[in-house]
Amino acid sequence: MGRVIVITSGKGGVGKTTASANIGVALANTGASVCLVDMDIGLRNLDILMGLENRVVYNLVDVVEERCKLRQALVKDKRMPNLNLLPAAQTRDKTAVDADQMKKLCEELKSMFDFVLIDSPAGIESGFQNAIAGAEEAIVITTPEMSAVRDADRIIGLLEARKDEITQYRLVLNRLRPKMVANADMMGVDDVLEILSIKLLGVVPEDEDIIISTNKGEPVSGTDNTRSGLAFRNIARRLRGEEVPFMDLDAKNDTWVTKIVNFFNPVRV
Protein backbone atom coordinates (compact mmCIF):
# COMPACT_ATOMS: atom_id res chain seq x y z
CA MET A 1 0.00 0.00 0.00
CA GLY A 2 1.33 3.38 -0.98
CA ARG A 3 1.15 6.74 0.70
CA VAL A 4 -1.21 9.49 -0.43
CA ILE A 5 0.31 12.92 0.10
CA VAL A 6 -1.45 16.17 -0.75
CA ILE A 7 0.60 19.23 -1.63
CA THR A 8 -1.23 22.38 -0.69
CA SER A 9 -0.70 26.00 0.28
CA GLY A 10 -3.83 28.10 0.43
CA LYS A 11 -2.24 30.96 -1.43
CA GLY A 12 -1.68 30.72 -5.14
CA GLY A 13 1.66 31.11 -6.85
CA VAL A 14 3.85 29.87 -4.02
CA GLY A 15 4.99 26.82 -5.95
CA LYS A 16 2.59 23.96 -5.26
CA THR A 17 2.72 22.63 -8.76
CA THR A 18 6.47 23.15 -9.10
CA ALA A 19 6.98 21.34 -5.82
CA SER A 20 4.66 18.51 -6.84
CA ALA A 21 6.51 17.97 -10.10
CA ASN A 22 9.94 18.15 -8.50
CA ILE A 23 9.18 15.99 -5.49
CA GLY A 24 7.53 13.49 -7.82
CA VAL A 25 10.57 13.33 -10.06
CA ALA A 26 12.92 13.12 -7.08
CA LEU A 27 10.91 10.31 -5.49
CA ALA A 28 10.85 8.42 -8.76
CA ASN A 29 14.61 8.89 -8.96
CA THR A 30 14.96 7.03 -5.67
CA GLY A 31 13.28 4.06 -7.32
CA ALA A 32 9.78 4.41 -5.89
CA SER A 33 6.75 4.20 -8.15
CA VAL A 34 5.01 7.54 -8.12
CA CYS A 35 1.73 8.92 -9.40
CA LEU A 36 1.21 12.66 -9.64
CA VAL A 37 -2.43 13.70 -9.55
CA ASP A 38 -3.36 17.14 -10.81
CA MET A 39 -6.44 18.26 -8.90
CA ASP A 40 -6.48 21.79 -10.24
CA ILE A 41 -9.40 21.05 -12.53
CA GLY A 42 -10.01 23.85 -15.01
CA LEU A 43 -6.57 25.39 -14.46
CA ARG A 44 -4.32 22.48 -15.10
CA ASN A 45 -0.58 23.09 -15.23
CA LEU A 46 1.20 20.06 -13.91
CA ASP A 47 1.30 18.42 -17.33
CA ILE A 48 3.06 21.47 -18.76
CA LEU A 49 5.68 21.47 -16.02
CA MET A 50 6.29 17.80 -16.63
CA GLY A 51 6.46 18.36 -20.39
CA LEU A 52 3.66 15.85 -20.91
CA GLU A 53 0.95 18.15 -22.19
CA ASN A 54 1.03 16.67 -25.68
CA ARG A 55 0.45 13.15 -24.35
CA VAL A 56 -2.74 13.80 -22.41
CA VAL A 57 -5.73 11.98 -23.85
CA TYR A 58 -8.02 11.23 -20.92
CA ASN A 59 -8.08 12.94 -17.56
CA LEU A 60 -9.15 12.61 -13.97
CA VAL A 61 -12.75 13.58 -14.66
CA ASP A 62 -12.99 10.96 -17.42
CA VAL A 63 -11.85 8.38 -14.88
CA VAL A 64 -14.28 9.54 -12.22
CA GLU A 65 -17.14 9.58 -14.70
CA GLU A 66 -16.05 6.18 -15.99
CA ARG A 67 -15.46 7.19 -19.57
CA CYS A 68 -12.12 5.40 -19.47
CA LYS A 69 -10.13 3.07 -17.30
CA LEU A 70 -7.73 4.56 -14.78
CA ARG A 71 -4.78 3.00 -16.56
CA GLN A 72 -5.75 4.63 -19.84
CA ALA A 73 -5.70 8.07 -18.28
CA LEU A 74 -2.31 7.68 -16.64
CA VAL A 75 0.43 9.33 -18.65
CA LYS A 76 3.80 7.71 -18.27
CA ASP A 77 6.69 10.13 -17.88
CA LYS A 78 8.99 10.31 -20.87
CA ARG A 79 12.10 10.03 -18.71
CA MET A 80 11.16 7.64 -15.96
CA PRO A 81 8.78 4.70 -16.43
CA ASN A 82 7.98 4.57 -12.71
CA LEU A 83 6.59 8.10 -12.75
CA ASN A 84 3.00 8.65 -13.87
CA LEU A 85 0.70 11.61 -14.21
CA LEU A 86 -3.05 11.70 -13.84
CA PRO A 87 -3.91 15.00 -15.53
CA ALA A 88 -6.75 17.30 -14.57
CA ALA A 89 -9.54 18.19 -16.97
CA GLN A 90 -9.15 21.58 -18.55
CA THR A 91 -12.63 22.09 -19.92
CA ARG A 92 -14.38 21.40 -16.63
CA ASP A 93 -14.38 22.99 -13.19
CA LYS A 94 -13.87 22.03 -9.58
CA THR A 95 -17.41 20.77 -9.14
CA ALA A 96 -16.82 17.96 -11.63
CA VAL A 97 -15.67 15.63 -8.83
CA ASP A 98 -16.68 15.22 -5.21
CA ALA A 99 -14.92 14.06 -2.07
CA ASP A 100 -16.24 10.51 -2.15
CA GLN A 101 -15.10 10.01 -5.72
CA MET A 102 -11.66 11.31 -4.79
CA LYS A 103 -11.44 8.95 -1.84
CA LYS A 104 -12.27 6.03 -4.07
CA LEU A 105 -9.75 7.15 -6.67
CA CYS A 106 -7.01 7.58 -4.05
CA GLU A 107 -7.69 4.10 -2.71
CA GLU A 108 -7.26 2.68 -6.17
CA LEU A 109 -4.07 4.64 -6.86
CA LYS A 110 -2.68 3.68 -3.48
CA SER A 111 -2.80 0.04 -4.40
CA MET A 112 -0.86 0.73 -7.60
CA PHE A 113 1.90 3.11 -6.48
CA ASP A 114 4.31 3.68 -3.61
CA PHE A 115 3.57 7.40 -3.59
CA VAL A 116 0.49 9.27 -4.76
CA LEU A 117 1.16 13.01 -4.80
CA ILE A 118 -1.88 15.23 -5.14
CA ASP A 119 -1.36 18.73 -6.43
CA SER A 120 -4.07 20.78 -4.79
CA PRO A 121 -5.57 23.95 -6.26
CA ALA A 122 -5.21 27.28 -4.46
CA GLY A 123 -7.95 28.34 -2.11
CA ILE A 124 -9.89 26.57 0.61
CA GLU A 125 -13.08 25.82 -1.30
CA SER A 126 -14.37 22.65 -2.86
CA GLY A 127 -11.28 22.07 -4.99
CA PHE A 128 -9.08 22.03 -1.92
CA GLN A 129 -11.57 19.93 0.03
CA ASN A 130 -11.63 17.34 -2.75
CA ALA A 131 -7.85 17.33 -2.99
CA ILE A 132 -7.39 16.51 0.68
CA ALA A 133 -10.31 14.07 0.79
CA GLY A 134 -8.29 10.96 0.07
CA ALA A 135 -4.98 12.10 1.55
CA GLU A 136 -3.20 10.69 4.57
CA GLU A 137 -0.32 13.13 4.69
CA ALA A 138 0.10 16.73 3.66
CA ILE A 139 2.93 18.94 2.55
CA VAL A 140 2.20 22.60 3.14
CA ILE A 141 4.09 24.92 0.84
CA THR A 142 4.71 28.53 1.72
CA THR A 143 7.05 31.33 0.77
CA PRO A 144 8.65 33.65 3.33
CA GLU A 145 6.03 36.32 2.81
CA MET A 146 3.47 37.53 5.31
CA SER A 147 0.48 36.75 3.10
CA ALA A 148 1.65 33.27 2.15
CA VAL A 149 2.44 32.40 5.77
CA ARG A 150 -0.96 33.66 6.86
CA ASP A 151 -2.67 31.45 4.28
CA ALA A 152 -0.49 28.48 5.20
CA ASP A 153 -1.56 28.95 8.80
CA ARG A 154 -5.19 28.84 7.75
CA ILE A 155 -4.55 25.66 5.79
CA ILE A 156 -2.77 24.00 8.68
CA GLY A 157 -5.81 24.81 10.82
CA LEU A 158 -8.06 23.10 8.29
CA LEU A 159 -5.75 20.09 8.12
CA GLU A 160 -5.66 19.84 11.91
CA ALA A 161 -9.43 19.63 11.91
CA ARG A 162 -9.08 16.38 9.95
CA LYS A 163 -6.55 14.78 12.25
CA ASP A 164 -8.20 11.38 11.91
CA GLU A 165 -7.58 11.20 8.19
CA ILE A 166 -4.46 13.31 7.76
CA THR A 167 -1.95 11.99 10.20
CA GLN A 168 1.08 14.01 9.27
CA TYR A 169 1.67 17.43 7.79
CA ARG A 170 4.99 19.09 7.18
CA LEU A 171 6.21 22.38 5.79
CA VAL A 172 8.26 23.22 2.73
CA LEU A 173 9.55 26.78 2.68
CA ASN A 174 9.91 27.75 -0.93
CA ARG A 175 11.73 30.57 -2.71
CA LEU A 176 13.92 31.62 0.19
CA ARG A 177 16.51 34.32 -0.57
CA PRO A 178 19.29 33.96 2.02
CA LYS A 179 20.78 37.34 1.22
CA MET A 180 17.53 39.13 1.86
CA VAL A 181 17.09 37.17 5.08
CA ALA A 182 20.60 38.22 6.17
CA ASN A 183 19.67 41.86 5.51
CA ALA A 184 16.49 41.39 7.55
CA ASP A 185 14.41 42.13 4.46
CA MET A 186 12.77 38.72 4.43
CA MET A 187 11.44 36.27 6.99
CA GLY A 188 13.90 33.51 7.74
CA VAL A 189 13.22 29.83 8.30
CA ASP A 190 13.01 30.35 12.06
CA ASP A 191 10.57 33.23 11.72
CA VAL A 192 8.20 31.15 9.64
CA LEU A 193 8.48 28.14 11.93
CA GLU A 194 7.88 30.38 14.92
CA ILE A 195 4.46 31.31 13.57
CA LEU A 196 3.42 28.02 12.06
CA SER A 197 5.01 25.67 14.64
CA ILE A 198 5.00 22.73 12.28
CA LYS A 199 7.64 20.22 11.34
CA LEU A 200 9.96 21.37 8.57
CA LEU A 201 10.37 19.06 5.60
CA GLY A 202 12.63 21.25 3.49
CA VAL A 203 13.78 24.67 2.41
CA VAL A 204 14.08 25.50 -1.27
CA PRO A 205 16.12 28.52 -2.31
CA GLU A 206 14.90 30.94 -4.97
CA ASP A 207 16.36 29.80 -8.25
CA GLU A 208 16.16 31.08 -11.80
CA ASP A 209 16.63 27.55 -13.03
CA ILE A 210 13.06 26.83 -11.95
CA ILE A 211 11.75 29.18 -14.63
CA ILE A 212 13.95 27.60 -17.26
CA SER A 213 12.91 24.12 -16.22
CA THR A 214 9.23 25.04 -16.22
CA ASN A 215 9.48 26.31 -19.76
CA LYS A 216 11.37 23.24 -20.85
CA GLY A 217 9.04 20.86 -19.09
CA GLU A 218 11.92 19.22 -17.21
CA PRO A 219 11.71 19.52 -13.43
CA VAL A 220 15.00 20.66 -11.85
CA SER A 221 15.17 17.78 -9.43
CA GLY A 222 15.75 15.46 -12.37
CA THR A 223 18.97 17.26 -13.29
CA ASP A 224 21.90 17.89 -10.99
CA ASN A 225 23.83 21.11 -10.46
CA THR A 226 20.94 23.26 -9.34
CA ARG A 227 20.50 24.20 -5.68
CA SER A 228 16.73 24.04 -5.88
CA GLY A 229 16.95 20.61 -7.46
CA LEU A 230 19.16 19.41 -4.61
CA ALA A 231 16.69 20.83 -2.10
CA PHE A 232 13.82 18.90 -3.71
CA ARG A 233 15.87 15.71 -3.81
CA ASN A 234 16.55 16.14 -0.09
CA ILE A 235 12.83 16.55 0.52
CA ALA A 236 12.16 13.31 -1.34
CA ARG A 237 14.75 11.49 0.76
CA ARG A 238 13.21 12.86 3.95
CA LEU A 239 9.80 11.68 2.76
CA ARG A 240 11.25 8.20 2.44
CA GLY A 241 12.37 8.39 6.07
CA GLU A 242 16.03 9.24 5.64
CA GLU A 243 17.71 11.72 7.96
CA VAL A 244 19.13 14.37 5.66
CA PRO A 245 20.78 17.49 7.13
CA PHE A 246 19.30 20.78 5.93
CA MET A 247 21.23 22.67 3.27
CA ASP A 248 23.29 25.56 4.53
CA LEU A 249 21.51 28.54 3.09
CA ASP A 250 22.77 31.04 5.64
CA ALA A 251 24.36 33.99 3.86
CA LYS A 252 26.39 34.75 6.98
CA ASN A 253 28.34 31.56 6.36
CA ASP A 254 29.56 32.96 3.08
CA THR A 255 33.28 32.89 3.66
CA TRP A 256 35.86 33.91 1.07
CA VAL A 257 36.25 30.25 0.20
CA THR A 258 32.57 29.77 -0.56
CA LYS A 259 32.53 33.07 -2.43
CA ILE A 260 35.31 31.86 -4.71
CA VAL A 261 33.56 28.53 -5.17
CA ASN A 262 30.31 30.32 -5.96
CA PHE A 263 32.11 32.59 -8.39
CA PHE A 264 33.17 29.65 -10.50
CA ASN A 265 29.94 27.84 -9.97
CA PRO A 266 27.26 28.99 -12.38
CA VAL A 267 24.59 28.11 -9.83
CA ARG A 268 23.81 31.16 -7.77
CA VAL A 269 21.57 31.49 -4.76
User: Which chain residues interact with other proteins by CB under 8 A?
Assistant: 42-44, 48, 51, 53-58, 67-69, 71-72, 74-76, 78, 81, 84, 90-96, 215-217
Residue 72 or 225 with smaller CB distance to other proteins: 72
Q: Which lies closer to other proteins via its Cβ, residue 33 or residue 150?
A: 33
Report in angstroms how near the CB of residue 65 gets to other proteins at its nearest: 9
Q: Give min distance, CB of 71 to other proteins, in A.
A: 4
Closer CB to other proteins, residue 130 or residue 234?
130
CB of 145 to other proteins, least distance (A): 28
Minimum CB distance to other proteins, residue 102 (Å)? 17
Q: Which is nearer to other proteins, 86 or 139 (CB)?
A: 86
**Following DSSP, what letter does each residue of the chain receive, concatenated?**
--EEEEEE-SSSSSSHHHHHHHHHHHHHHTT--EEEEE--TTS--HHHHTT-GGG--S-HHHHHTTSS-HHHHPEEPSS-TTEEEEPPPSSS-GGGS-HHHHHHHHHHHHHH-SEEEEEPPSSSSHHHHHHHHT-SEEEEEE-SSHHHHHHHHHHHHHHHTTTTT--EEEEEEEEE-HHHHHTTSS--HHHHHHHH--EEEEEEE--HHHHHHHHHT--GGGSSS-HHHHHHHHHHHHHTT---PPP---GGG--HHHHHHHHH-S---
Q: CB 52 → other proteins: shortest distance, Å?
A: 9
- Kindly tell me which of 24 and 178 has the beta carbon lying closer to other proteins: 24
